[in-house]
Amino acid sequence: MQTLREFTRKTKSGNILKIVREHYLRDDIGCGSELCRECFQNEVYQLTAQHANQSTLFKFPHYLVLDTNVVLDQIDVLEEDVLRNVVVLTTVLNEVKHKSSSIYKRFNEIVHDRRRNFYVFVNEHHKDTYADREPDETANDRNDRAIRVATKWYDDHLKASQSSKEFERSGRAATRVILLTDDAGNRAKAEEEGILVTSAAEYVKSLEDFPLLMDKLSHKTFENEKKGLPQYPPHLSMKELLEGLRQNKLLQGAFQASRENYLEGSVSVEKFEKGILIQGRESLNRAVDGDLVAVELLPEVEWSAPSEIVLEEKNVYADEVPSEERAEDEKDMLKQVRASASSAERTPTGRIVGIVRRKWRQYCGILQPSLIEDTNRHIFVPADRKIPRIRIETRQAAKLQNQRIIVTIDTWPRNSRYPHGHFVRSLGPLGDMATENEVILLEHDVPHCKFSDEVLSFLPKMPWKITEEDYAKRVDLRDLYICSVDPPGCTDIDDALHCRELPNGNLEVGVHIADVSHFIRPGNALDKEAAARGTTVYLVGKRIDMVPELLSSNLCSLVGGVERFAFSCVWEVDNEANVLGKRFHKSVIKSKRAMTYEEAQVIIDDATQQNELAKSLRNLNRLAKILKKRRMDSGALVLASPEIRFQVDSETHEPLEVEVKQMRETNSMVEEFMLLANITVAEHIATEFSECAVLRRHPRPPPTNFDPLVKAARYQGFQVDIESGLELSHSLDKCVKADNPYFNTMIRILTTRCMMQAVYFISGSLQKEEFFHYGLAAPIYTHFTSPIRRYSDIMVHRLLAASIGADSTYAQLLDRKSNEELCHNLNYRHKMAQYAGRASVALNTHLFFRGKEEDEEGYVLFVRKNALQVLIPKYGLEGTLYLKSDKDGKDGLERVKSEIVFTFNEEDYTQRCGDVVFHSFDPVTVRLSLDSSNVQHEKLIFRLVKPYIKGFSVETATEGTEGQAVAAPPPPKKTKKDKKKK
């Protein structure tokens, strides 16, 4: 049977286009119920009496039909293995897919789990349930009607199947069909049409065997909630927002909350380089980090400057009236900032007037039980300081104390200080290594679930071996003295090198990269999963692979002594490292040895070793030094960051020792040739694919970014020139102090903080002048050398292979828009991977210092308005030494006496207390200990030992006894904590 579907669409030119499509209706689509004797069932029964739902609201057997809003809002309830015998209409599936791809993916997994008894009924193609759109009917109303039509048909269909005398004699109660909807209008119409209907919340509450399922209900409002006074301005309607954006009265951008000041944030807007500053609770107006918001720019006289005050919300409960103390905090902060900001420092400032699109997700954190007894309402404190506290209802508060839990936001009414949300699940005990790693991965949105069976189905079948056909298609390089040089314990070896002398006296240098694109074909499930993950994420003692382990640590890894596929970039160079020629080809290699940086360095330094491998390494090292000098002379920057590595216990996975990462010549040797390969490939693919080449650029920082560096260096007697990368590089080289060998490293660390983020982009989206990579002083750059751990490199491999005829091209590879979306995701995943790695280092640092107190020499890295940022060279650690604290004793330390006053000088970025003045790079001695008073945010506490400030520094007379204490706080609180521990 066939029908026609007609709809109109407005074209860009304003014309109305009428579209007619054929729509086929069938009479052989089964209902999936074991009760039915009429339908042709083309698969095993999904709806059975064995899996009945027990409800006090409907005390008879029943099937459930879900409305679209129930799936979208109550997905956390549906994921629990409670509801069975659920009819999923294709109308609902299509609506969910259109409205939320992430929820659609989660719902699809439930539907495909045969144990759950969810049956997909193709109502849109069934002759009795198809609902054609009526004149003047909205698409949403038509879909609601289609759901009601299908529910009614199902109920009538089952009644007919259960009307036989045989069924009546069995004495069984008839099975009915119930519609779950949270749409009041849809519910009212369903009741009029004689359909059994209820809301998701009412139905869940009727499941007496599962009382805790109520915790997972999404709430738009809480029951019996008192309507308090509005605490925030109203949001503009979507119509008003769109009109304001069209007339340029409003600006649109992504909101970024401050991690250090809960009353501050910014909105990234193309028109303004640094974005628009948002200060104060009312101006923030219920925006959550990541939301796409509409901003109204304030008049220039009201512009402000970003505060350098560290301000955290105090331990408050679910009180709805803003306390005077909190209001005072906000006023003080805004007053201080506006009073101290000079006209030169003021930046565009605005207020948020509406939310264009929410970017709420699931949040990790802990429960802060209410002070009120016998209440289900509590406050959830997220681990991420950029996220506000969330009000939730739960009946298991006692059980969830000292647990890491996940909560999601449902709504944020004007009259509530905090957003409303619901409990999703518990992750495990606080402090447990596995739990804390899970929190890091979830908080940084790192995909880390097991690879699905569909993804794994595209892996090569084992045992895998190279065939004669493979050898014929590739260049055979198995006889070359190729080797790899990597960190200790590396199993995902992406790259290998070789260097040999040519008969003409020149040298042949080759960089050989794992040919991952041979195994991952475009568009399949494995490719899509790798693209979604974007990058491999490295935590301390744990790796989250971008591709399955069979590829990352086996078939693609260029391990020693094993034949592997590679993509080779080979140059002919003279003895001064000038490139005379280049070629690219797919190859088969057999690495002669997989070495660590240390092992390679030993071979280079040992003059007695004169084998081919040693000669190759020495030539590579010599050429690398020439290449590096050439880069430095062109203005490339040598930056630094305090990097540390942990020795981890193989059984407990806890850190045993902390040390600063050592850099050897071999590190630089490998880096130089990887850079050369990346630049060479970038030039080639940009020439071949001028509109769709995947490249990487590093924007030049705005001059204001360098202000803290320039002022700090000037005080130390050095002039830092920031006119160009070359001048900056030369300036940094001159920043050397004979009495402080660490000074130059600190200057470079501070310079790193001034830099912009490097990003992936598509060549056709920018002018060639904008391709420049500032840090490397390279006119063009890409990533080619790490395809096992970066999807960008796989994209580059495919472009390069297509350009040399080694592989075929395909439509998406040359689609600029598609590649731009991929680059956007890669930039996000790369940034999140970096943050996750840093969070893992912080976690292991806290574990290492648990139960320890150490006095260490350090340096002031930079000075803030109420704190010093201190660097400890021995451990490569960086932390904050607070100079002011809240009235109730910030960080649990009552160390600031009323007579101790620190004065911040904005001209030279200094802090003064009496005769003691702190500048950047000043030496200090600090006492390190772990403060566990906040169970969720343990902190490594820095307390001043030298220079000595009476009433603020750690008293030296008590150093001997305090050194014995376990994470002992300062003397005033020592006995109190000891009593608690006992």
pLDDT computed for residue 969 by the predictor: 36
pLDDT computed for residue 341 by the predictor: 53
pLDDT computed for residue 228 by the predictor: 65
pLDDT at residue 874 is higher than 90: no
**CA atoms within a 13 Å half-sphere pointing along the CA-CB vector of 278:** 31
Specify the amino acid at residue 144.
Answer: D
The span from the CA of 28 to the CA of 127, in Å, is 9
pLDDT at residue 895 is higher than 60: no
The residue whose two tokens read 């144990």 is 115
DSSP 952: T
246 vs 20 pLDDT, higher one:
246
Residue 722: count of CB within 10 angstroms of its CB: 18
Residue 129: count of CB within 10 angstroms of its CB: 24
| Residue 965 banded pLDDT, cuts 50, 70, 90 | very low
Q: Which of 885, 874, 886 is nearest to 849 (CA)?
A: 874
Question: How confident is the model over 211-236, as a mean pLDDT?
Answer: 78
pLDDT computed for residue 338 by the predictor: 60
Is the C-alpha dihedral spanning 563, 568, 571, 577 positive or negative?
negative
CA 554 to chain centre: 27
Highest mean pLDDT (candidates 303-312, 565-574, 925-934): 565-574
The reply to whether 30-209 and 362-430 are identical in fold is no
Specify the amino acid at residue 701.
Answer: P
Give 23-51 pLDDT, tens digit per residue: 678 877 888 888 887 776 656 667 777 77
258 burial level (CB within 10 Å; 0-12, 13-18, 19+): buried
pLDDT at residue 292 is higher than 70: yes
674 vs 705 pLDDT, higher one:
674
Least confident range of 281-285, 485-489, 848-852: 848-852
Least confident range of 27-41, 321-335, 354-368, 653-667: 321-335
Least confident range of 463-477, 555-569, 644-658: 644-658
pLDDT computed for residue 684 by the predictor: 96
Torsion of CA 148, 149, 152, 155, to 10 degrees: -110
Specify the amino acid at residue 688.
Answer: E
Q: Strand ranges (DSSP E) for 77-142?
A: 86-89, 118-121
Residue 933: count of CB within 10 angstroms of its CB: 16
Question: How confident is the model over 818-832, as a mean pLDDT?
Answer: 93
pLDDT computed for residue 618 by the predictor: 93
Question: How confident is the model over 430-457, as a mean pLDDT?
Answer: 89
pLDDT computed for residue 980 by the predictor: 38
| Residue 374 banded pLDDT, cuts 50, 70, 90 | confident
19 burial level (CB within 10 Å; 0-12, 13-18, 19+): exposed
Highest mean pLDDT (candidates 156-170, 639-653, 754-768): 754-768
Residue 382: count of CB within 10 angstroms of its CB: 19
Specify the amino acid at residue 453.
Answer: D
Question: How confident is the model over 708-718, as a mean pLDDT?
Answer: 82
The residue whose two tokens read 């304030």 is 298
The span from the CA of 30 to the CA of 622, in Å, is 74
Q: Which of 540, 910, 507, 544 is nearest to 711 (CA)?
A: 910
Name beta bridge partners: 904.
911
Residues 6 or more apart in contact with residue 950 via CB below 8 angstroms: none
DSSP 649: -
- The separation between the first and the last C-alpha atoms of the chain, rounded to the nearest angstrom, is 80
Cis link prior to 655 (omega < 30° from 0)? no
Residue 167: count of CB within 10 angstroms of its CB: 14
Report the relative pairing of strands 349-357 and 292-297 from DSSP bridges: antiparallel
Specify the amino acid at residue 804.
Answer: I
pLDDT computed for residue 970 by the predictor: 35
Alpha helices per DSSP H over 850-970: 959-962
Residues 6 or more apart in contact with residue 21 via CB below 8 angstroms: 4, 5, 6
Second CATH level (architecture) for the domain 362-430: Beta Barrel (2.40)
pLDDT computed for residue 555 by the predictor: 94
Highest mean pLDDT (candidates 1-10, 23-32, 139-148, 649-658): 139-148
- Phi, psi of 289, rounded to the nearest 5 degrees: -45, 125
Assigned token pair, 92: 């609902």
Are the beta carbons of 256 and 287 closer than 8 angstroms? no
pLDDT at residue 678 is higher than 90: yes
CA-CA distances (angstroms) from residue 314 to 85, 192, 324, 646, 885? 47, 52, 13, 34, 12
Question: How confident is the model over 441-450, as a mean pLDDT?
Answer: 90
Question: How confident is the model over 529-534, as a mean pLDDT?
Answer: 95
Cis link prior to 488 (omega < 30° from 0)? no
Pick the CATH number of 30-209 from 3.40.50.1010, 1.20.58.220, 3.30.9.10, 3.30.2320.80: 3.40.50.1010
The span from the CA of 634 to the CA of 644, in Å, is 30
The span from the CA of 758 to the CA of 780, in Å, is 12
Q: What is the CA radius of gyration of the chain?
A: 32
600 burial level (CB within 10 Å; 0-12, 13-18, 19+): buried
The span from the CA of 475 to the CA of 512, in Å, is 12
Domain limits, the chain: 30-209, 362-430, 453-695+775-832, 850-887+899-946
DSSP 441: H
Give 82-124 pLDDT, tens digit per residue: 998 899 999 999 999 998 888 998 898 898 888 888 999 988 8
pLDDT at residue 384 is higher than 80: yes
Residues 6 or more apart in contact with residue 175 via CB below 8 angstroms: 33, 35, 49, 60, 61, 62, 63, 158, 162
The span from the CA of 634 to the CA of 630, in Å, is 6
Residue 576: count of CB within 10 angstroms of its CB: 8
Return the SS3 of 430.
coil
Report the relative pairing of strands 390-393 and 377-382 from DSSP bridges: antiparallel
pLDDT computed for residue 790 by the predictor: 95
The residue whose two tokens read 């409990």 is 423
Assigned token pair, 477: 């390089």
DSSP 524: S
Return the SS3 of 113.
coil
pLDDT computed for residue 676 by the predictor: 95
Assigned token pair, 481: 């003295």
pLDDT computed for residue 19 by the predictor: 65
DSSP 699: P
Highest mean pLDDT (candidates 573-577, 709-713, 869-873): 573-577
The span from the CA of 129 to the CA of 563, in Å, is 60
pLDDT computed for residue 336 by the predictor: 64
793 vs 332 pLDDT, higher one:
793
Please give the mean pLDDT across all residues of the chain: 84
pLDDT above 70: percentage of residues in the chain: 86
Residue 661: count of CB within 10 angstroms of its CB: 12
Question: How confident is the model over 742-748, as a mean pLDDT?
Answer: 83
pLDDT at residue 359 is higher than 60: yes
Per-residue 3-state assignment (H helix, E strand, C coil) for 815-884: CHHHHHHHHHHHHHHHHHHHHHHHHHHHHHHHHHHCCCEEEEEEEEEEECCCEEEEEECCCCEEEEEECC
Second CATH level (architecture) for the domain 850-887+899-946: Beta Barrel (2.40)
CA-CA distances (angstroms) from residue 261 to 257, 308, 388? 8, 9, 11
pLDDT computed for residue 887 by the predictor: 38
Question: How confident is the model over 161-172, as a mean pLDDT?
Answer: 78
CA angle 908-883-944, nearest 5°?
100
Q: Which of 312, 290, 282, 319 is nearest to 418 (CA)?
A: 319
The span from the CA of 277 to the CA of 346, in Å, is 10
pTM: 0.79
Is the C-alpha dihedral spanning 811, 814, 820, 822 positive or negative?
positive
Assigned token pair, 130: 């198809």
